[in-house]
């Protein structure tokens, strides 16, 4: 089952549904993974809210500032779809070769390629 299926199962389970005893092992595994994903999402929501509350408390930023920045970032990929497209591969500044975004160092020359924290 793909990550979308796991996410859907987590949503269903968080709404109070349960897995029946006759469900397959794959369904039980997906429901377990779905619960893990749902719990992690809830924790990340809590972290984001706490961080935003601290930012507002310590600066002059407002909720409108946050919403404006979210809209700006959302449109960076040309689509207002509520998410940020990570884009294509990262090009190494040293050897000029493409690398997967999941790598911090160039797989060809070893150069550090992560310069932005959310790249």
Q: What is the pTM of this model?
A: 0.54
Residue 15: what pLDDT?
52
User: Taking the domains of the chain in order of start, what are their residue ranges?
Assistant: 3-85, 86-119
* 65-97 residue pLDDT tens: 999 999 998 887 778 999 887 777 888 999 999
How far is the C-alpha of 54 from the C-alpha of 88, rounded, in Å?
A: 33
How far is the C-alpha of 87 from the C-alpha of 115, rounded, in Å?
A: 15
Helix count and strand count (H, E) for the chain: 3, 2
Residue 11: what pLDDT?
55
Residue 51: what pLDDT?
97
Residue 97: what pLDDT?
93
Mean pLDDT over 110-114 rounds to: 89
């Amino acid at each position: 089952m793909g990550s979308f299926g796991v996410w859907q199962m987590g949503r269903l389970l968080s709404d109070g549904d349960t897995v029946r005893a006759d469900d397959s092992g794959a369904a039980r595994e997906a429901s377990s993974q779905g619960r893990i994903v749902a719990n992690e999402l809830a924790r990340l929501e809590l972290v984001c809210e706490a961080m935003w509350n601290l930012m507002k408390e310590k600066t002059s930023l407002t909720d409108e500032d946050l919403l404006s920045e979210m809209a700006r970032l959302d449109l960076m990929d040309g689509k207002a779809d509520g998410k940020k497209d990570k884009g294509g591969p990262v090009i190494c500044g040293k050897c000029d070769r493409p690398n997967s975004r999941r790598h911090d160092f160039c797989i060809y020359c070893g150069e550090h390629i992560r310069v932005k924290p959310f790249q």
